[in-house]
Amino acid sequence: MSTPQVHPVAPPRTAPVVVAFLVGALVAVGLGVYGSVHEPTFFSINVAGFSSPTAVKAWLATLAGVLALVQLASAAVMYGRMPGLRAPSWIGTLHVWSGRLAVLATVPVAVHCLYALGFRTGEPRVLWHSLAGCLLYGAFVAKMLLLSRRGLPGWAVPVAGGALFTAIVVVWSTSALYFFRTTGLTF
């Protein structure tokens, strides 16, 4: 009788995780530095049907927030964190596309914030908003870099996704929520 061969399992690779998070941190810091040294133009483009550029930003941030909730729910289903719920075949596609659309919705907001307003620190809400906006894109870059790698620790992508989700929530609550609380649900 022969002994079954045991193939060693490669340990999770942490170097790509460190590199991805470092690149993400560089992106976040780079955006913050750009926003700090760039002279704000205070110029923005209004979109037809909205009362102001701030209203456009608030609604796009809200769309990104709703899509981030879809991301959270679909990830929970994919990772088996919803007891009794079996992942349908389309859940991965929903997760990918809701993420793409969420980031796409944030791009005009980020461009306006960085170019027209810059990185601001005048009051705590604005400072948190500026920090979270930079973190959002750093976490996005880190997550995208991690998604293209195999053999990572199981926590790597969820941590990057969690940081991205948290950044979207903080950005939304320090901007869109503030806007809606002060002006109402206006367009």
User: How does pLDDT run across 26-77, given as a tens digit for each residue?
Assistant: 999 999 999 899 888 877 766 777 788 888 889 999 999 999 999 999 999 9
pLDDT given at position 56: 87
Q: What are the domain boundaries of the chain?
A: 15-40+52-183
Residue 23 has pLDDT above 90, yes or no: yes
Which of the 8 DSSP states describes residue 175?
A: T
Q: What is the pLDDT of residues 91-132, one digit of tens each?
A: 999 999 999 999 899 988 888 888 888 888 889 999 999 999
pLDDT given at position 9: 62
- Give 55's contacts (C-beta < 8 A, 6+ positions apart): 179, 183, 186, 187
Residue 115 in tokens = 């170019």
The stretch 161-166 carries a mean pLDDT of 92
Round to whole Å and give the CA distance between 187 and 138: 30
Round to whole Å and give the CA distance between 154 and 110: 30
The verdict on pTM exceeding 0.85 is: no
